Amino acid sequence: MDNKTARDVVLKTRNDAILTIAYNINKMVFLPKVEDDFNFRADNKLRLIAHILRNEFKSGHYVDEKFIEENKLTLKKEQYPMIFEYLRETDEETGSKSYRYFKKYNIEQLNEKDKVEELLKDKEEIKRKKYNLRKVNLEEFFNENKLDLLNKILFIGILRIITGKDINLGYKYEKEERELIINIAQEKPEIIRKMFIETDIFVNRYLYENELKEE
């Protein structure tokens, strides 16, 4: 894969994802749990959330092209993948890295959704940790860390895809404020990306500090 092409794909689809989140910012509280170990960078969480919001998926199950090919599955017409980006070292001596990506699809994009659900049952279930997600605890964390409205909404969205818990503290943007977020996403998407990455760090810290240990 030509690196320039890969880089162009990664950056364009990332900015598209940022714009999708801006348009759907008030729907973050309806995101489903995603079946993954979340051992990946914030940019891919951003893409994942945008892909679900854009398509209004109810399922959080994703599979890659290899899984689709091995199990002889087929895509519905006009289905667009989630681009999962990563950096790969291209020069052993200098340590230079370049963008690469692969494609993942939500199982709702497949013709054989029921078959896929059966196949996924055989996979080892990801054991979920438990956390203190009570409203008072979350709001105390938000106040202590001076999180603004966008941080809070993104925080709840990330928590939902990780935990699958019904967390809705009533945060939302009014029409004029939402239009401002959309304008920023169109003109300076890097600002929204920076806030998403910052929020993801806060989420990771919150989960680390508020894990409910088994007796």
| Residue among 211, 202, 162 nearest 40 (CA) | 162
Residues 6 or more apart whose CB falls under 8 angstroms from that of 102 comprise: 64, 65, 83, 84
- How high is the pLDDT of residue 186? 97
**Percentage of the chain exceeding pLDDT 70:** 95
- Residue written as tokens 């790969």? 88
| Model pTM score | 0.90
- How high is the pLDDT of residue 3? 52
Give the C-alpha separation, 16 to 13, whole Å.
Answer: 5
- Measured from the Cβ of residue 96, the count of other Cβ atoms closer than 10 Å reads 10
Any idea how long the chain is?
215
Residues 6 or more apart whose CB falls under 8 angstroms from that of 154 comprise: 28, 195, 196, 199
Q: Tell me the pLDDT of the chain (215 aa) as tens digits.
A: 455 588 899 999 999 999 999 999 999 999 999 987 777 889 999 999 999 999 999 999 999 999 999 999 999 999 999 999 888 877 777 878 888 899 999 999 999 999 998 888 877 566 788 999 999 999 999 999 999 999 999 999 999 999 999 999 999 999 999 999 999 999 999 999 999 999 999 999 999 999 998 76
> How far from 38 is each of 8, 76, 200, 207, 212, CA to CA, in Å?
25, 27, 11, 13, 19
- How high is the pLDDT of residue 4? 58
**Domain residue spans of the chain:** 3-209
- How high is the pLDDT of residue 61? 92
